[in-house]
Structure 1
Amino acid sequence: MDDAVQAPSAAERTPTSAMPYISAAGASDMYEIESSRLALQKAASPDVRRFAQMMIDHHTQTTNSVTTAARSAGLTPPPPRLMETQQRMMEALQPLSGEAFDRLYTQQQRQAHDMALALHQTYSESGDTPELRQAADAAVPIIRQHIQALQQM
C-alpha cells in the first residue's frame, strides 16, 4: 500500500475569497482533529500523543475562530468536510498502530501543516473579508508552533 498521498493543488489550499477559505480552513482543522483523535488511540510514542492532544485543542480553537469571524461578516459557514486528499490520508492511518502509525502520522502532520500555513498566510494577506483575514492571521503563529513541535519530535 502506497503511503504517499498527493497534495491538493494550489487552488485547493490557497483561496482568497471567503467561502472557499472557510471550507478549506474547516477541512484542514477537521483533518487535524480527526487524525489526532486516532493518534490518541493508536500512537506508541507519548510525544506523539501529547502532540495529538495539542492538535485537538488548538484546531478546535481555530475552527471556532474562523466560524465566529465568518458569522461576524454575515456569512454562514458550511459544516467542515474533509477534502478527498484528507480522506485518503485518514484511510492510510486507520489500519496502522504503534511505531508505524507514529511515522505516518508525523509525516502527514508535516504535510498538513505546510498546507495550512500556506492557506492561512495567503488569506491573511490577500483575503477578501477583513474579519476572516484577522482569523487567518491569528492562526499563522499557532500553525508555526505546530511545525516547530513537529521538527522537535
Structure 2
Amino acid sequence: MTPAEYVATAGASDLYEITSSQIVLETTQNSQLRSFAKMMITQHTKSTADVKGAAKRSRIAAPPPKLTPLQNELVTQLSSESGPTRDAAYIAQQKAAHGQALAVQKAYAMEGKAAPLKAAAQTIVPVVEHHIIMLKAM
C-alpha cells in the first residue's frame, strides 16, 4: 500500500466511523451504545488529524476523506433503520469496519514506506483493538 493509498483508506475508514456514529446517536436509547458512539466520534476525529499531520510531515497530499461506495451503502442502510434494529445494524457494521481498519493499520504499521505515517499507524492499532474488544462485549 502506498502512503497516499494509506492516507485515503484510513481517512475513509474514520469518516465512516464518525458518520455512522452520528446517525446512531440520533435515535439510540441504549446508554452503552450512546457512550460508544460518542467515543468513536472523538477517537476517529483524532486519528484523522494524526494521519493528516503525519501525511503533511511525509509530504503526502491528504485530501478530505471520502466514503467508499460500500461505506455509502452502509450509511444509507443505517439511516433507513430505526430503534433497536438500527442499534443492531450499527454494532454489526462496526464489528466489520473495525476488523478491516485493524488490518489496514497493522499492515501499514509493519510495512509502511513513510516513517511518520507508519508511526501514526502504530499508535492507531491499539486504539482499534480496544474498540474491537468493546464491540465484542455488546
Both proteins in one fold, TM over 0.5? yes
Alignment length (residue pairs): 138
In 2, are the aligned partners of 1:69 and 1:131 still within 8 Å (CA)?
yes
| Distance in 1, Cα, partners of 2:48 & 2:137 | 25
Q: Which amino acid aligns with 1:79?
A: P
The percent identity for this pair of structures is 38
Could you tell me which of 64, 83, 101 is aligned with 2:68?
A: 83
How far did 1:74 drift?
1.3
In 2, are the aligned partners of 1:29 and 1:63 still within 8 Å (CA)?
yes
Give unpaired runs (5+ residues) of structure 1.
1-15
Give the TM-score taking structure 1 as reference length.
Answer: 0.88
| Distance in 2, Cα, partners of 1:42 & 1:94 | 10
Could you tell me which of 3, 17, 25 is aligned with 1:32?
A: 17
Runs of 4+ displaced beyond 4 Å: none
| Distance in 2, Cα, partners of 1:139 & 1:39 | 23
| Distance in 1, Cα, partners of 2:88 & 2:48 | 26
Give unpaired runs (5+ residues) of structure 2.
none
| Distance in 1, Cα, partners of 2:73 & 2:28 | 19
Q: Which amino acid aligns with 2:61?
A: T
In 2, are the aligned partners of 1:42 and 1:96 still within 8 Å (CA)?
no
Q: Which amino acid aligns with 2:5?
A: P
How far did 1:78 drift?
1.0
| Distance in 1, Cα, partners of 2:28 & 2:62 | 32
Q: 1:60 matched to which residue of 2?
A: 45
Could you tell me which of 94, 116, 119 is aligned with 2:101?
A: 116
| Distance in 2, Cα, partners of 1:75 & 1:81 | 17
How far did 1:44 drift?
2.8
How far did 1:114 drift?
0.1
2:32 matched to 1:47?
Answer: yes
The C-alpha deviation readout for 1:108-151, integer Å capped at 9, x for no partner, is: 00000000000000011111111100001100000001001101
| Distance in 2, Cα, partners of 1:76 & 1:89 | 27
The C-alpha deviation readout for 1:55-84, integer Å capped at 9, x for no partner, is: 000000000000000001112201100001
Give the TM-score taking structure 2 as reference length.
Answer: 0.98
